Structure 1
Amino acid sequence: MTAATGDPRQAGSAAEFVALLRQLKERSGFTYRQLEERAARGGEVLARSTVADTLRRQALPRTETLVAFLHACAPAEDVAIWLEARSRLARQAPPARGDSAASGPYAPDASQHTGRGPGADLPAVPRQLPAPPAFFAGRADELAHLDEAAENRGETVVISAIGGAGGIGKTSLALQWAHLHLDRFPDGQLYADLRGFGPEPAPVAPQVSLRNFLEALGVPPASVPKDLDVQAALYRSVVAGRRMLVVLDNARDTGQVVPLLPGSPTCTVLVTSRHRLRGLTVTHGARLLTLDLLSVREARDMLAGHLGRRRVADQQQSLDTLVEHCGGLPLALGIVAARAAANPAHPLDALAQELRDASARLSALSAGEARTDLRAVFSWSYRALEPQAATVFDLLGAVPTVDLGLAAVAGLTATPLATCRELLQQLEDTSLVHQYVPGRYRMHDLVHLYSADGARPRSRSKSRDAALRRLVDHYLHTAYAADRLLDSRRPPVALAPPATGCAPQPLRDTAEAMAWFDLEHPRLIEMQQVAMRRGRYPQVWQLARTLVTFHARRRRSRDQLAVWQLALQAAETGEDLAMQAMAHRYLGQAYTAEGQDDDAFEQLDLALVCAKSGGVTGEEARTHYALAVGWERYGDLERALVHARQALALFRSISDLVEEARALNAIGWICAGLRRYEEAEASCRRALALFRRHEHPDGEADTLHSLGLIAQNNGKHAESLTYYGQALTTYRGVGNTRGEAESLASLGDVYAALGRYADALQVWQGALDLLQRQQRVKEALLLRERMNDFATLV
């Protein structure tokens, strides 16, 4: 198509452009009066004299005149194409030269004037930005990110989309940056609160924002088109080539933002939204900037800035409490500051006391108005959710801590994984949860309090109880399967089937099982407590039972104490003697590991009583084994040997070969302490054969370590190094960091005995790191002293 056939995109000059307009009028057959009347019926102003003057001259018409003319003369024409063509020709104009240029073929568009009359020659420069935040702290990296985006402009408009939860400080950041860089935007700054999330029933329509922008840019109200696409095209034409900042605050979604975007690379746009505007990145190359919480230091600085350094100087403890319970959320800090400022004579501790009470914390975080009431601010995000996603949000409120994997949330909500992922995506898109690593979700403490709030109509205690049952079952059955991967020869436990809608998470091997336990351990502790509160006593001791191997490999004896103390309460409530015996025994073993001998022997004696009363031979045997370990560590080797032999006899009576091997290893270790090395080695070799026959790597590694000690005490250092090295490899193969630390320490002892002090220090350092990680304070202190003694010899 060429200019001769009526395509404005082919017009090479203002004269050709106007010639095309004349052709339109001729083809329409309308008189000037008829055009004026048609425009008036459409709500637009198009004086007949203006049309005649426009078509007589060879200058580009004013934008509002062009739009009104096209609507009246040729309504089928694509107005956007004509506006883009006009904008292109205007940009090709030669530099203006005084007043004469203003009357030439590329005269400035009157819609860019101040509106002081036809002769006005100064463009309208809107200054719509609200004031910057009174107190602003931190966000140095985020400000730098916006700087970089603005400086690295290319051939398209620069768009930065600032996202994050309600109250995270998106608007404050945008306004802070805007006011720091006003000099970059001499042609003006536009601002619109799009009310995407708020007390209003609906967001602001793009047409409303565009009309406000156009009028601020000098377009007469009567000349603003009604059609959205034409409004947007006119807006892009007016701001084309101008160095302007556009701040689009509190957007609901990408669709609300796109019509308000300039088309010129001279413009910069800041968008804020609780919703992740991924579509804006896809279609317009926007840079997403998601705000995180303020650090403790930044939060303290912000609150101190609000309250005054003098007031907080002698109330540091109360200030720390306020900062802690605001959780780094700027709006919460601002509300606290406003409440404290309203009562300057009151001590900060009075407000801190309110925030300490979790049940009243949200009520305390209100300054009396909707936009300064945290519960109301969160409700606007909640209101934007679809019903299924809102139900997921409600059910998350029943969980003690929201730090859950996708499979756990699917179990909680009884939804398929794919559906659950989509629903969590909605929560993430509205910044109600945070996917901090792929497939794992967290919720801010204050958002979680709102989620747990029972005041909302969708919250139902019955549905939450069922959801918690599913979640407990998810963790119990997954933990049981993981424990079976770690030690498949442990006596099985008869679990009740999982609740309908709950599916355990599949795990493939021991590495995945250990990684899952490492990640989910805090949640397993919580689920045991949930089961106890709801009277599901079998699940309480069953959860404790699934953690035994993991706790042993990671040397988490304090956690072992905690879970078995609760398990004992559950067993006693249920009057289950076998379970009471098991609980007492595991408590005794944990106390032994912690060096609390009196408590250990008390619990083990009780375990023996319960096991004998209940006629549970296996539990009686395991308790004798635990007593053997306890007395060996206490230093009474003869008594330890008696219990080890009793355990061996009982294990043989029930044909438990793996436990028989464990007792044989204990006898060998104790005999080595009694310097009965021949008997010790023979017993350990029988144990090693049994462990290897039954593929029990933990027992195999323990026995290799015993053989290493026997060889070391016999002066066979080379043989000792071999055994310790094999034990170390086996421990590492199953993720047994308890045994790994002990093997490294023993290897260091042999290296030291051989005069290889550098090697000794190297492996001791590895052992020390593990001991400190396992909080084995006493052992770590003794090893550090030993390392200091040998450091001078290197």
Structure 2
Amino acid sequence: MAEFVALLRRLKEDSGYTYRQLEMRAARRGDVLARSTIADTLRRDSLPRADTLIAFVRACAPAQDIRAWLAARNRLAAATTPALDIGGASAATPVPRQLPAPPALFIGRTDELRLLDAAVGQPDPPSRTVLISAVGGAGGIGKTSLVLRWAHMHADQFPDGQLYADLRGFGPDLTPVPATVTLRGFLQALGVPPASVPHPVDAQAALFRSLVATRRMLVLLDNVRDTDHVIPLLPGSPTCTVLVTSRHQLRGLTVTHGARTLTLDRLSEAEARELLAAHLGQARALQHRSALDALVRHCGGLPLALAIVAARAATHPDHPLDGLVRDLRDTTVRLDALTTGELRADLRSVFSWSCRALSPPAGKVFDLLGLVPVVDISLPAVASLTATSTQRAQELLRELEDTSLVRQHAPGRFRMHDLVHLYSAQRGRTQQGGEDREAVRRLVDFYLHTACAADRLLDPRRPPLVLGEPAPGCTPVALTDASMAMSWFDAEHERMLESQRLAMQRLWYPQVWQLARTLVTFHARRRQVTDQMAVWHMGLTAAEQGGLTSARAMAHRYLGQAHSQNGERDEGLRHLRLAVDRAREAGDAAELARGHYALAVAADHAGDPRQSLVHALQALAEFQDLADTVEVARVLNAIGWACAQLERNEEAQDSCMRALTLFRQQGHPDGEADTLHSLGLIAHNTGQQHAALAYYRQALAVYHDVGNTRGEADCLDSLGGLHESLGQNREAHDAWQQLVVLLRAQGRAAEALQVVQRLRLLPL
């Protein structure tokens, strides 16, 4: 033993390092080696502890064979004090095989398995110490199943063993498994007798790293709470691979240890159907195919939900699945149905474990998100919903994202799984008290005031909506130009529809029809007729129940226009006549004039240019009395087109040119483009093909600049027809091909098919 310690002294002398330098070198490697420990070890003729020996040799001479030193120490220990033998460092080191059984049923996840293959298979840079892959995702998304599947598929790549620990970072236990408990289990699995396991966690971690150094091992750390929870358990050898699962994003692990991250999302509908069918058995799945499809939809691609449904179905194998479908169809009891009576197979409990990790402010945000009908929400909207600054909202959303309760699926946009959102809504109803009304009002005002400002940018000449002040805590988005306004509408259109429904549920009638009004220009440019009808049917109901006569006239007018555009002539005329009647009742001259203009357009669509001209001339007189220049220009364009249909081409040309001048003076690009299109049609009908071509091209350019895809589609249709009449089939083909793309984007599949058929008949 004295000779052994003498060799240690010589090792220290040969290194040339002081006690302080050795302490610092050990610390840089992650080892614990105090100066006093070194001095005490070299002063006495007694064996050092195994972890002290490992740290000392690595600090003095990293190239030395640690195993040889440990073997020599163990031989001495066996001859003197056998209780100190840490047999795990000897040649008889056991090979642990701790992996739990792989999932009995595993469907899909081929891309994710391939990503894990790539992460482990790539050669590691010299600067890295260990391959770490962190798999994240919401509770019940299948993280453990994925890593166990991969681990068993590749077990032969780790001949020195596989270690596994469930750290219980999220679960029924209030506290996770401490690192010391996990390390003690790993050390004992590696052959270290319990009496020889050091007590401090740093010493345990150092001994663990030493024992697995140079060994090809897999360490699977399941259900980790956060980065600090996992760091003591990481090997230091590039020969080891670590798989970590957590609901937490573990960004710190990526920053400090270069971990590769993989976040799981829901299964595809096809994968979910296949998984549920595998659980139920193919015969039963085929027998109840429609019920199976309904169950898949209600489970939202969440593997745990599918497994719970299968477990419930298995208790009554002879029963039809319709009862389960009924339980899940009702959202008020869906989470009650997604349980087997055990905590780990109870979806509400599984979600609650994630919420337990939230700070109180983040928990409040989670509850408020349950008030939103469908969670796909922007950062500014969350700021208004929660009455916080954008920066603070971002911090709280990041906390929700870190625990996989929301996902940032696009920059600044956050989405919640359907079942998590359902849990949020139910939890919020018990937690928020009276705060939900104020929060919903802030959210509705956010969309209303932002949309009103956006609509003004799209059509600044339209009479503005008069809104009250937004609710305290609401901060609308500041938009600066028409392009930004269109982009905002594109991103938030579905949220606008949801906000209108929220306002209707709360009986906020003015906000209901005002939200519909802010969408008019956007719906016209995108030709979203169905949505236009939907928002104005609700707007009409709100106006009637709120006793708002002028708003009733407006609602009837927009409904009449939408029904007419949708080919429902009789319903369109009914609403337009009611619009004129309600405008007279209200004494609203401007709305009365707009009603006559709408009747002129409807008559034109019905192929009645004479009636169209009658209404247009009446509207012109009324708008001239009101000195509304933009509306005068709009009606002049309608008059010009009606005259063209009646072959009064000189009047048509004159009226449209007057309209074009007024639109340009007023800076109204939509009206300018519509009039250029009309002039093109007039020129085409009168044999002025080159002039028509020039007008169409100008109109297309303006439509494109303002993002008016409805106008682009109509103009491309006309342009293609002109090219065809000139024998320019290639140019006609290009125009109609662009038209097909736009029609499909606007959901006009039948019209797109008609154009495709024309393309097939067009010789090239």
TM-score (ref. length: structure 2): 0.92
Matched, 1:473 2:415: no
Indicate which of 171, 178, 181 corresponds to 1:198.
171
Matches of 2:54 and 2:581, distance apart in 1:
91
Cα distance in 2, alignment partners of residues 306 and 193 from structure 1: 25
1:776 & 1:240 partners in 2: Cα distance? 64
Q: 2:119 is matched with which residue?
A: 149
- 112 and 363 in structure 1: CA distance in 2 versus 1, 3 angstrom threshold: farther
Letter of the structure 1 residue corresponding to residue 104 of structure 2:
A
- The verdict on how the C-alpha distance between 1:272 and 1:179 changes in structure 2, with shifts beyond 3 A counting, is same
Report SS of the residue matched to 1:343. coil
Q: 1:495 — aligned with what?
A: 467
User: Residue in 1 aligned with 2:395?
Assistant: 422
What is the match of residue 175 of structure 1? 148
Corresponding residue for 1:242?
215
SS at match of 1:678: helix
Distance in structure 1 (CA, Å) of the matches to 2:539 and 2:196:
78
Deviates most, 628-637 or 546-555 = 628-637
How far apart are the structure 1 equivalents of 2:502 and 2:534? 14
Alignment of 1:123-138 (within 5 A): 123-138=93-108
> 1:367 & 1:471 partners in 2: Cα distance?
37
The letter for the 1-side match of 2:354 is S
Deviation at 1:511, TM superposition (A): 0.6
Quote the RMSD (CA, aligned, Å). Answer: 2.7
CA contact (8 A) 2:86 2:191 kept: no
Give, in angstroms, the shift of residue 787 of structure 1.
2.7
What is the match of residue 91 of structure 1?
65
Distance 1:466 1:130 in 2: 50
8 Å CA contact 1:585, 1:626 repeated in 2 = yes
Q: Cα distance, 1:597 vs. partner? A: 0.6
Query: Cα gap change, 1:153/1:685 in structure 2, threshold over 3 Å: closer, same or farther?
Result: same
Tell me the equivalent position of 2:307.
Answer: 334
> What is the CA-CA distance between 1:456 and the residue it aligns to?
7.2
Q: Which amino acid aligns with 1:576?
A: L
Identical-residue share of aligned pairs (%): 57
CA distance in 1: counterparts of 2:440 and 2:256, whole angstroms? 42
**CA separation of 1:113 and 1:311: change in aligned 2, threshold 3 A:** farther
SS of the aligned residue for 2:275 comes to: helix
Question: What is residue 165 of structure 1 aligned with on the other side?
Answer: 138
Deviation of the 1:768 alpha carbon = 2.2
> Separation in 1 of the partners of 2:432 and 2:324?
31
Distance in 2 (CA, whole Å) between partners of 1:672 and 1:146 is: 67
Change (3 A) 1:556 1:194: same
Structure 1 residue 6: Cα displacement: 5.9
Q: Is the 8 A contact 1:102 1:108 kept in 2?
A: no
Q: Is the Cα–Cα contact under 8 Å of residues 387 and 473 in structure 2 kept in the other structure?
A: yes
Alignment map for 1:401-420 (pairs within 5 Å): 401-420=374-393
Give 3-state SS (helix, strand or coil) of 2:575's partner. helix
AA paired with 1:388?
P
1:603 aligns with 2:585: no
**Which structure: larger Rg?**
1
**Corresponding residue to 2:225 among 252, 255, 265:** 252
Work out the CA distance in 2 between the residues paired with 1:466 and 1:407.
Answer: 17
Q: Is structure 2 residue 342 aligned with structure 1 residue 369?
A: yes
State the secondary structure of the residue aligned to 1:468: helix
Q: Distance in 2 between matches of 1:174 and 1:105?
A: 38
**Structure 1 stretch displaced more, 374-383 or 231-240:** 231-240
* Separation (CA, whole Å) in 1 of partners of 2:438 and 2:535: 24
Which structure 2 segments of 5+ residues have no match? 1-11, 24-34
What is the aligned partner in structure 1 of residue 31 from structure 2? Answer: none
Task: List per-residue Cα deviations over 1:528-564 (Å, max 9, x = no partner).
Answer: 1111111110001100100011111111111111111
Q: Does 1:211 align with 2:184?
A: yes
Instruction: Determine if contact 1:470/1:498 at 8 Å carries over to the other structure.
Output: yes
| Structural mapping, 1:503-522, within 5 Å | 503-522=475-494
1:435 aligned counterpart, secondary structure: strand
Contact between 1:113 and 1:217, CA under 8 Å: does it hold in 2? no
Aligned amino acid, residue 135 of structure 1: L
Structure 1 residue 724 corresponds to structure 2 residue 696: yes
Q: Any conservation in 2 of the 1:408–1:474 contact (CA below 8 Å)? A: yes
Counterparts in 2 of 1:781 and 1:290: CA distance versus 1, 3 Å: closer
Residue type matched to 1:137 in 2? I
Q: Aligned equivalents of 2:309 and 2:679: distance in 1?
A: 64
Question: Measured at CA, do residues 22 and 317 of structure 1 come closer, stay the same or move farther in structure 2, by a change above 3 Å?
Answer: closer
Match of 2:297 in 1: 324
Tell me the distance in 2 between the aligned counterparts of 1:616 and 1:504: 31
Q: CA deviation at 1:788?
A: 3.0
- Corresponding position of 2:677: 705
Deviation of 1:506 after TM superposition, in Å, equals 1.1
Q: 1:551 and 2:523 equivalent?
A: yes
TM-aligned CA distance change 1:26 to 1:692, over 3 Å: closer
Q: For residue 615 of structure 1, what is the aligned residue in structure 2?
A: 587
Shift of 1:117: 7.8
Distance 2:54 2:379 in 1: 47
Kindly provide the amino acid, as one letter, of the partner of residue 294 in structure 2: T
1:406 & 1:359 partners in 2: Cα distance? 28
User: Which position in structure 1 is the counterpart of 2:651?
Assistant: 679
- Asked if residue 784 in structure 1 is aligned to residue 759 in structure 2, the reply is no
- Would you say the 8 A contact 1:737–1:770 is kept in 2? yes
How far apart are residue 83 of structure 1 and its match? 6.2
Distance across 1 between alignment mates of 2:354 and 2:463: 50
Q: Which residue of 2 aligns with 1:631?
A: 603
Displacement of 1:192 after TM fit? Answer: 0.9
Q: Deviations over 1:172-201 (max 9, x none)?
A: 111111111111122211111111001101
Q: How many Å separate the matches in 2 of 1:547 and 1:88?
A: 71
CA distance in 1, matches of 2:83, 2:594: 92
Is the CA contact (8 Å cut-off) linking 2:84 and 2:195 kept in structure 1? no
- The one-character-per-residue Cα deviations of 1:414-455 (angstroms, maximum 9, x if unpaired) are 000000000000000000000001100000000000000147
Q: Which residue of 2 is the match for residue 576 of structure 1?
A: 548
Deviations 1:125-165 (A, max 9, x none): 12211111111111111111222222224242111111111
Q: Which segments of 5 or more consecutive residues in structure 1 lack a partner in the other structure?
A: 12-19, 33-50, 55-60, 71-78, 95-100
3-state SS of paired residue (1:441): strand
1 CA distance for matches of 2:487 and 2:278? 44
- For 2:545, the aligned partner's letter is T
Corresponding residue for 1:357?
Answer: 330
Alpha-carbon distance in structure 2 between the residues aligned to 1:27 and 1:214: 26
For 1:190, the aligned partner's letter is: L
| 2:199 is the alignment partner of 1:229 | no
Contact 2:74 2:85 in 1 (8 A): no
TM-aligned CA deviation for residue 670 of structure 1 = 0.3
Which residue is 2:728 aligned to?
A: 756
Q: Distance in 2 between matches of 1:174 and 1:383?
A: 25
Alpha carbons of structure 1 residues 219 and 652: separation in structure 2 relative to 1, 3 Å: same
Distance 1:692-1:108 versus aligned 2 partners, 3 A rule:
farther
Whether 1:432 and 2:402 are equivalent positions in the alignment is: no
Q: What is the distance in 1 between the residues matched to 2:592 and 2:435?
A: 43
CA–CA separation in structure 2 for the residues paired with 1:482 and 1:181: 55
**Which is further off, 711-720 or 143-152?**
143-152
CA contact (8 A) 2:19 2:38 kept: no
Contact 1:701 1:726 in 2 (8 A): yes
Deviation at 1:86?
A: 8.4
Find the aligned partners of 1:26 and 1:113 in 2 and give their Cα distance.
Answer: 19
Mapped partners of 1:517, 1:750: distance in 2:
33
Q: Give the 3 Å change call, closer, same or farther, for CA 116–705 of structure 1 in structure 2.
A: closer
1:103 Cα shift?
7.2
Q: Does 1:664 align with 2:636?
A: yes
Equivalents in 2 of 1:616, 1:624: separation in Å? 13
Matched length: 736
